[in-house]
Structure 1
Amino acid sequence: MKEIILPKYVFDELFDFIEAISFETDEHDSVVFDFAYVENYSPVALVAIICRVKYLQSIKAKVYFRNHDSFRALTYFQRMNFFSICNLNMDEKFKRHDSNGNFQEIQEFGRLGGSVEKLSEGIALCCIPESERWKIDDYEENSEIYDLVVYAVSELINNVFQHSGSNGYISAQVYRKGELVRLGIAD
C-alpha cells in the first residue's frame, strides 16, 4: 500500500507536488490519499489530484481517502466538485450558490461531455474584472479580454481532447487581493 500525505498548501510549487503524487503503481495496488493537513490548494492542484486518482482507478488500483471528512478545506473541495468527480458522494453541510464569476467548479470535458463553449465562457468570466463584465453582451462595447479568453480556453480544451482522446478537467478561481486568476487544465 502506498500512502500520500497531502501537504498543507499547494499553489505555485506544482512540479514538486505532481512529482510527489506520481509514482510507480501496479494494477490492483492500494493507494491512500491522506487529507489531514490540507488547508489551502489552488484549483490546478485539485485538478492534478483528480487526474492522478482517475489514472489509478483506470488501472484498477484501489484508491482510498483518509481524513477526507474532517480536514480544514473540506467545504472548498466539495464546492469545487472534487469528491464527486472522484466518485465519492458526501453530504454537504453548506448551501451552494452561484459563483458570480469568482470561480469555475472543476468540470470534466472530453468524450463524456462538457460543453466547450459553456466551460470556456465560465473560465473567461473569472478572468475579466467585474468592471468589464457589462461589456460581454454589449455588441458595441464588446469585452476583448473576455472574447480572447473564451477563444484561448476553447482551443486548449479542444486540443487536449483531440490529442489525448480522453477526458480532461478544468477549473479556475479569482484571487481578488492579488488581482490574479488561477486556471487548472489537465488530461
Structure 2
Amino acid sequence: MDATYFRKALVKIMPGYDWTVHRARKGVTTIVATGIQTSGLNRLSTLEVTYAPDDKGDWFRARSAGYGRRAPWLYENGDATLARALRGLQDYYRHTEGIYRGHAAALEAGRKVAPDAPAPRADSAGLLEALTAIVGSLNVASDNPNVPDDFLVPVDITMGELRKARAAIASAKGEAA
C-alpha cells in the first residue's frame, strides 16, 4: 500500500477528519496518518492510524485522543483491515460510554431530594457567584453552534449545561443571552 492509496481509504471511511499522511523514510513500509477535527482553533479530536504490514499480511492500528493538541491517547485498537480497526475503537468508546452513563445516572439520582424532605433554598447571589467562577474561567467555544450540546468538554460539563449556565448568568446580570 502506498501513501496516496492509504490517504484515499482514510478519507473515504472517515471523511469528517482532515487527514495528513506523514512521510516515511525510504524502504520503510509503515505509513502513519493523523486526522483531526477542529472547531475554529480548538482541536476536538485526534485520530492516528498506522499501516504496518507483517508476515501475516496487512495490519492497521488506530488510536485517538480527545480535546486539545497535547491530549493523551485514550485508547488503541488494531486489526487486519482499516474499517475493523476503526470500528473496534468506536465499539470500545460505546462500551465505555455505557459504563460511565450508568455511573452518572446513579449520581444524578442520588442528588435528588427525597419527597418528604424540604427542598433547599438557593440564594441567587451565591448561585451567580458560583456559576461565574465556573463558567467565567473556562476558555471554550460555548457559543459555537457547530459543537453539539452533548459534546463533553474536559471539565465534565456538557455543552448544553454550559450554555444554560451562561444564559443564567446573563439573565441574572440583566444582559441579553
Tell me: higher relative CO, structure 1 or 2? Use CA pairs within 8 A at least 6 residues apart.
1
Q: Which has the larger radius of gyration?
A: 2
Q: What TM-score do the two structures reach when normalised by structure 1?
A: 0.25
Q: What TM-score do the two structures reach when normalised by structure 2?
A: 0.26
